[in-house]
Structure 1
Amino acid sequence: MKRKKHYTTLQLGSSSLKPEGSGLWSVLCKACLISERHPATYQNFRSYPTVIAERQRHLTEGGLYVVHPFSCFSLVWDSVMAVVNVAHMIVSSLRLCYVLHPKGRPRIHAIDHVLFSLHLLCLIDVAVRFNIGYLEGKANVILRRPLIACHYLQSWFVVDLISSLPISYGLILNESEDMRLIMICHIMANIKAVRICKEINNIVTFLKISRLPYIYYGIVRNVILFLMVAHWCSCFIYIAPVLYFYWTGTMVQNYNSFLNSTDLKSYTITERYRRGIYISLSAFMGTGYSLNRVFEPLEVLIHAMLILVATLFMIYTLVHLLTLYFTKYHSVIRYHELMNQLEEYMRHKQFPAQLKKRVCAFYYYNFQGNYFREDLALNTLSEQLRNEIILHTCHKLLDKVELFNGLPASVVGSVLGCLRAEVYLPNDLVLRAGDIGDCMYFIANGSVAVYSLKGVEVCHLEDGAYFGEVALLMKDSKRVATVVAVEITQVYRLDAEDFRQFIMSNPVLYERIEAFASQRMHETVLLDEAFRRKREQLQERTLDLDKMDLK
């Protein structure tokens, strides 16, 4: 059943508390307030009235010059700055480990211009951070500017400021010859690497707008982290000769034996980076040391640390991948565990082969290779959601059963809400003639054979048919037919109490089902009568043949 969106008709004015107007300033002010579009809003504020109350508190405590952490502005700004900071981490490490100046003649490189632009953006971010609130605990957002400033100063301010100052760019631009100071400034820019996890979380938060399954966020997080760690490892390979060059102005000898020459300046940045990333990926795959034999103690130490980092990261990745796998295929694994337990149980009880086959067929049809507890899942839902799920799962049955044609949705929903699913294997007895009837059945999938009291096969019933209603309409409540499953058949059972409450109390339904039951009874009686006459004729022929034999 399709749900309709609610549109209010009450003339109460705007309750969103957003600034009115369509100018740039008004749009910016609206973007700074808490928004329902932020993925974390309804994780901390469970209803729209609480969002409105938070918006009112924002205007009272912080005013329009403070940005709410769950606002559209904060979401976009954090996402953009996450990309900028990741780019800053990549470029700053490239600048430190791959760009080498001739001795005493430092000059501006193309990477310096890119890094300077990133420095400026990061400095702007430092200023903006003093105006963005933060979450303390659960659903407790701090919006007072003094508290925001104090919190930022105690957390990321020092790291952000030190790593964002373009001091090295100014020194090189002023033709400073102090290589050691330039090296220290380049190292300061790389301090931002400690923010990598926070920036990845900001990227994942932005991706949550698409409402993808959890597994995709984990994949994105690990892919970004893997690329960054591989890049840093490729830079770390050259860190010892680079630092030695900055400190002494000369290139260390007998280092980088994996290159044809130990003089790093004789290779382009692309050649060195390609070789460095190759060695890093080799370390991740467990072949690093065997492919690149090194002999210098410092170089051995660098490669050992590289292999250690790569091994730890691959262990972390493997654990995460296993977690994702078990999360995604948990129901399949539980199904196979259940089937293994069932096999052991049947082996212990010495089930015959035919019975084993029937039990396995029942479980496979019932679970389709995925084990789940339907009762536990449904019990956590509201009654409205449970009814919608029942209507959805029974919609094919609803289309097939002519009994429900033209009836109000409320009546049909009441009946469907009382149905209980059952599965019968081939040759299973569903009903026996002469038994007391306490329910009727609707066929969802499969087919059954109907036999009269005298054992005459009356008909086959298939998808959408129903049976067992005759006994519920008769005073003695006795079954007038035997029903046997022809193939694996899924039926929905309606108990006698629910039958009397929802079907017999509805005139249209009662009239339809009574007419159909009368027709079935008439056809069954005719078939039984024809079978009786045929049997009497056969008996008479047998007697005549016996008399002729006697004569």
Structure 2
Amino acid sequence: MDDKGNHVCMLAKEPKYVDLPPTVGCWRMVLCKIREWRMPCEWHHGSKMYLRSRKSMTRERDRVVELGYWPVLHPYSPIKHYWDCIAFTVGFLAILYIPVEVFKPCPSPYNYYIIIADTVAFLDICLKFITGNDRDGNRVILDSREIARRYLCGTFILDLISTLPFQFIQITEGCRYPTYTSWYLLKLFRLIAIGKAWTNISNQMQLSYVTTTSIAVLTRLVLFIHWMAYIYYQIPIIFVHYYNFKGLANSWIKRFLIEDLYDTSIYIKYSMSLFYVGGMINGAERPSDLGFYLVEETIMSSTIGLIGLMFMVYVWSTLLRMAAYSRFAMYLYEGGLKELQNYMVFKRMPASLRDKIQVFINYKFFGHYFNERDILNTINEQIKQDINMHCCKRLVMNVPLFHEMPIAFLNAIVFKLVQVIYLPGETVIKCDQPGSSIYLIYSGTVAVINAAGQEVAHLRDGSYFGEAALFNPGSQRSSTIIALEITEMYKLSNKEFQSCLQAYPHLKRRLDDYTKSGRRRNFATYN
């Protein structure tokens, strides 16, 4: 330990994937840097959720390297996250800007920003073919064929439609009453990709469920009214072309003041359209000044009003649900966290201790509240066994002592395991202290220090230590174990181990013979 209490490793540092000699060329260095950026990184929210230890991170990076798929990007990589930020920003601004085109006096289908946004969206499609799928069970899918198959069966068609420049197809001539702008409705399919990018960004920002949902529903409300104003202005233009500017259809654009507003500013045309759309959504009908109604106009107004009513019901119900959710947040994660913070202030805890508690809470719950005891009480015993075996069977089977044991006995062992979490720098066991439990490392890294004070090894996910306590409770520990990172373990005490053996007397005799014969020493790790 240094003066600040931090661990100083005595072992040789492991080489990194991008460690290069100083004489390497610039191009080679750039390629290796790109290789590093496409691998999972420690600060990504997905890595914090699923790759919760250094060994898990190393194992996942090894898997990326061993697959040999150079173009494949890991979903928890820096490139994927930064690209999502770029694609989200460009795409969202395009969704806001595109409806304004119809209000221009003479819009051009070759708008530079819309073309750039389409290009970025097309590049996003290309990257999705080489980006691993987030999760499939317990693993990230990195097989290029499986990635392509899933995307083709998913949202590929809609994503592709939203990127194609259909606005180049001009159905009618002239720009005074443009109809090509009606193709912009297909750009709304881009909201699917924008929503997925926002999910990644919001998770990385660790926004709460209430905040994320509230931002999403309010943004949808703004976009809904914004695009309805565009539709309100675009549909009359389409119909006057359809009727060739004759009859009552020609009066429609006069009724909507489209002809009169041609030479006015975009702001005035947009604000008037927005005003009438807001009135229809709220159920207020626009008064007629021509003494007649068009069937098409009636259908459009009724449709906008009905869809707007349903959308407003969705918005208000969601906001009320979020208000109720936040009101009873005292029973949820955020409320409990706030209560904990008030408690720490009341106890006048030092900043270092408060930070330590905050790190522990963030690791254990990761921003999500759940009461494991209440959850397990709602399911039957068989499902409990399946859950426990799924979580801990691998750990138990890593111990040679438990090899070739009956499944029922292993189930009993798994049920007796107790979860413990150690923060960096905390001591798990001390040398020359009596021991009573074996420890199984679920995730994390610990340092092994012998009686002479020398660091001799690191133990990581799947390792175990202290098994001598199962045979000789109270025997002195031969090593000191210190956590190097947040380490999640399961421990089994000698008392619980002996209680499991009560129902299996033949196994008890076998283990007694195993202990007396001295074979345990062949499997001993660190005790």
TM-score by length of 1: 0.52
> Which secondary structure does the structure 2 equivalent of 1:135 belong to?
strand
Give the C-alpha shift of residue 210 in structure 1.
3.4
Indicate conservation of the 8 Å contact 1:65/1:131, yes or no: yes
Distance 1:63 1:309, change over 3 A: same
> Which secondary structure does the structure 2 equivalent of 1:244 belong to?
helix
Counterpart-to-counterpart distance in 2, 1:89 and 1:373:
35
Give the C-alpha shift of residue 73 in structure 1.
1.0
* Off by >6 Å, runs of 4+ in structure 1: 176-180, 182-185, 291-294, 388-391
1:211 equivalent to 2:206? Answer yes
> What is the number of equivalent residue pairs in this alignment?
334
Give the C-alpha shift of residue 234 in structure 1.
0.6
Distance 1:391 1:310, change over 3 A: closer
Distance 1:84 1:215, change over 3 A: same
Deviations 1:307-329 (A, max 9, x none): 22222222111122122211221
Deviations 1:210-265 (A, max 9, x none): 33433222222123212211111111112322223555664832325664465664
1:66 equivalent to 2:54? Answer no
> Which secondary structure does the structure 1 equivalent of 2:250 belong to?
coil
The structure showing larger relative contact order (alpha-carbon pairs under 8 Å, at least 6 residues apart) is 2
One-letter identity of the residue aligned with 1:141:
V
Give the C-alpha shift of residue 77 in structure 1.
0.7
Distance 1:8 1:149, change over 3 A: farther
One-letter identity of the residue aligned with 1:234:
A
One-letter identity of the residue aligned with 1:119:
D
Deviations 1:159-217 (A, max 9, x none): 23333233544x67xxx96689x989755553231342541342243244333433222
Aligned match for 2:279, one of 282, 292, 301: 282
Identity across matched positions, percent: 16
Deviations 1:348-401 (A, max 9, x none): xxxxxxxxxxxxxxxxxxxxxx7x699xx79xxxxxxxxx999947735x99xx
1:157 equivalent to 2:156? Answer yes
Match of 2:521 in 1: none
Q: Which is greater in Rg?
A: 1
Give the C-alpha shift of residue 9 in structure 1.
0.8
> Mapping of 1:306-325 within 5 angstroms?
306-325=304-323
Q: Which runs of 5+ in 1 are unaligned?
A: 102-106, 332-369, 379-387, 400-551
Distance 1:186 1:391, change over 3 A: closer
Match of 2:122 in 1: 123
> Which secondary structure does the structure 2 equivalent of 1:40 belong to?
helix
Indicate conservation of the 8 Å contact 1:256/1:299, yes or no: no
Distance 1:33 1:243, change over 3 A: same
1:223 equivalent to 2:228? Answer no
Distance 1:270 1:128, change over 3 A: same
Counterpart-to-counterpart distance in 2, 1:229 and 1:20:
53
Aligned match for 1:254, one of 244, 247, 251: 251
Match of 2:45 in 1: 39
Indicate conservation of the 8 Å contact 2:118/2:164, yes or no: yes
Counterpart-to-counterpart distance in 2, 1:85 and 1:138:
31
One-letter identity of the residue aligned with 2:188:
A
> Which secondary structure does the structure 1 equivalent of 2:186 belong to?
helix
Match of 1:9 in 2: 9
Aligned match for 2:347, one of 381, 386, 395: 395
Indicate conservation of the 8 Å contact 1:32/1:64, yes or no: no
Indicate conservation of the 8 Å contact 1:66/1:131, yes or no: yes
Q: Which runs of 5+ in 2 are unaligned?
A: 351-527
Q: Comparing 24-33 with 4-13, which one deviates more in the overlay?
A: 4-13
Counterpart-to-counterpart distance in 1, 2:279 and 2:162:
31
Counterpart-to-counterpart distance in 1, 2:284 and 2:239:
24
Counterpart-to-counterpart distance in 1, 2:141 and 2:158:
22
Match of 1:271 in 2: 268
CA RMSD of aligned residues (A): 4.1
Indicate conservation of the 8 Å contact 1:44/1:138, yes or no: no
Aligned match for 1:30, one of 36, 42, 46: 36
1:329 equivalent to 2:320? Answer no
Counterpart-to-counterpart distance in 2, 1:8 and 1:189:
60
Counterpart-to-counterpart distance in 1, 2:127 and 2:95:
20
Counterpart-to-counterpart distance in 2, 1:314 and 1:206:
27
> Mapping of 1:64-463 within 5 angstroms?
64-95=70-101, 97-99=102-104, 108=108, 112-166=111-165, 168-169=167-168, 186-245=181-240, 247=242, 250=245, 252-255=249-252, 259-260=256-257, 265=262, 267-284=264-281, 286-289=282-285, 295-330=293-328, 392=344, 395-396=347-348
TM-score by length of 2: 0.54
